[in-house]
Structure 1
């Protein structure tokens, strides 16, 4: 059945290394709905990112990462609603959708898990929005939408107000004295800004993180969306 979400104030918690040391966990946990992405953990990071999760938006490529720790994701946190997005070839229900098949098995093992998958219609809607906002065709420009893109579009439908924590804006990496952090708060790895530039300029197969953030800033002007840690000035 279709997913019905009705939230008042939503917190969207970024996976960025910006979240490390922010100590906003208690504040985040007060929100009526808390959105997280992919396999970003709360365990061991509660002080910075909070411990509650209402909705977890997960890319088809991150499903195997959740399945490395299914007890944690599908049993301990069984109040969480999982929204899995991915292309039709992976999500098809005729036995050939590799990710859909994994999820079906998961529900067999964890019958209380609340797992939803995006429809083809929803996926193409997100592409249409990208084209409308950027003037670029996502497929022709050789890019993939990010989980953040799907999360924000879903949250704008479900929430009266949105507070995004730990997401950088499109000019952050060129600003003076920016904070050098790893791409994810929960694992050492490539520097966040390096990763952003790498993706933005990849001829194909990259996420247009910087372009997406420009669009988010535009949405923030029209909707009740605020970005903090770091703060965005949406002029």
Structure 2
């Protein structure tokens, strides 16, 4: 009889405890499930596209922007397109649509997914060419990222310890063109209509050898791994990020904002001056302060301010 009373008492206590705890457990489970389903990515320590946390960022970042040019359905804003066409007059009598049609007969339509995916955590490294990378020892960290963006005439051979040796995306334009390795995405920054024509030529006939200067007539790249930055994206960066400082944004600034729209987390390396305040490329020895800081068309000071604010707001991780 005593054992029966003890057993009944134990069951009663269990029922009382679980009746109070179960709703709490159920609520927590539902909260976690809902929160997970609405998170823009699976990164445990935050996602760029999460609108929370930065009013400054939310006022500039437009998730609807399409950073990559497609063969069709680009929905060009007429004002933005007119601004881009006026950046550098190239004396071309063809329309953008005509030039694009020929280009997409040579390169494959893009397949990269730029939208956020709640089950993915795409960590990207944007690697600039600043001399501040010399002696940094950041090579392994850079190579650990999913996407590794380099630009222009970036050199890795001989500097692997500081800059790494992996590249997934190489940003360039005709006047800064280099051959890219097999498997690497060539990402064209078209500052003028002639640049799109050059890309078509450089991957086929090689007949274009001049823009406003002598350029490579052919470039080594996988035709099915070529991406072209949308001309309208230039105006978006100019309006929202560099705020009309300079005639148009620099390659480095465009690469960072491109990464903000393509990646879930962004780390930035090799931007700014070295420890002595000199501006130079890490593979060069010409350490003259201001060597490429003021180009006449970009505002390095304002762009640097934007990059540091992105770091302060937790939207990028800047490695000095």
> TM-score, normalising length from structure 1?
0.71
SS at match of 1:130: helix
Unmatched runs of 5 consecutive residues or more in structure 1? 231-235
Q: 1:132-178: per-residue Cα shift (whole Å, max 9, x none)?
A: 34442x6xx5x34211122112111111111111212xxx79xxxx4
Aligned residue number for residue 46 of structure 1: 160
Q: 1:55-111: per-residue Cα shift (whole Å, max 9, x none)?
A: 111133212xx1xxx4xx2xxx2121110112342234xxxx2344224458x9857
Aligned residue number for residue 153 of structure 1: 257
Q: Could you tell me how far apart the structure 2 residues matched to 1:218 and 1:179 are?
A: 22
Out of 127, 132, 141, the position equivalent to 2:240 is: 132
Q: 1:29-69: per-residue Cα shift (whole Å, max 9, x none)?
A: 11122111112011111111001101111133212xx1xxx
Are the structure 2 counterparts of residues 109 and 125 from structure 1 closer, same or farther at C-alpha, using a change threshold of 3 Å? Answer: closer
Aligned residue number for residue 16 of structure 1: 130
Aligned residue number for residue 292 of structure 2: 195
Task: Indicate yes or no: 2:198 matched with 1:98.
Answer: yes
Q: CA RMSD in A?
A: 2.9
Task: Indicate yes or no: 2:309 matched with 1:212.
Answer: no
Q: Could you tell me how far apart the structure 1 residues matched to 2:136 and 2:155 are?
A: 15
Contact in 2 for aligned 1:38/1:56 (Cα 8 Å): yes
Structure 1 segments, 4+ long, off by >6 Å, are none
Q: Could you tell me how far apart the structure 1 residues matched to 2:287 and 2:149 are?
A: 24
Unmatched runs of 5 consecutive residues or more in structure 2? 1-108, 115-120, 207-217
Contact in 1 for aligned 2:131/2:280 (Cα 8 Å): yes
Are the structure 2 counterparts of residues 212 and 18 from structure 1 closer, same or farther at C-alpha, using a change threshold of 3 Å? Answer: same
Contact in 2 for aligned 1:60/1:90 (Cα 8 Å): no
> TM-score, normalising length from structure 2?
0.53
Are the structure 2 counterparts of residues 181 and 112 from structure 1 closer, same or farther at C-alpha, using a change threshold of 3 Å? Answer: same
Compare 144-153 and 210-219 and name the one that shifted more.
210-219
Structure with the largest fraction of strand: 1
Are the structure 2 counterparts of residues 131 and 38 from structure 1 closer, same or farther at C-alpha, using a change threshold of 3 Å? Answer: same
Pairs aligned (count) = 195
**CA displacement at 1:211 relative to structure 2:** 1.5
Aligned residue number for residue 233 of structure 1: none
Aligned residue number for residue 164 of structure 1: 268
Out of 216, 220, 227, the position equivalent to 2:318 is: 227
Q: 1:209-231: per-residue Cα shift (whole Å, max 9, x none)?
A: 22112222333345530111x2x
Are the structure 2 counterparts of residues 43 and 9 from structure 1 closer, same or farther at C-alpha, using a change threshold of 3 Å? Answer: same
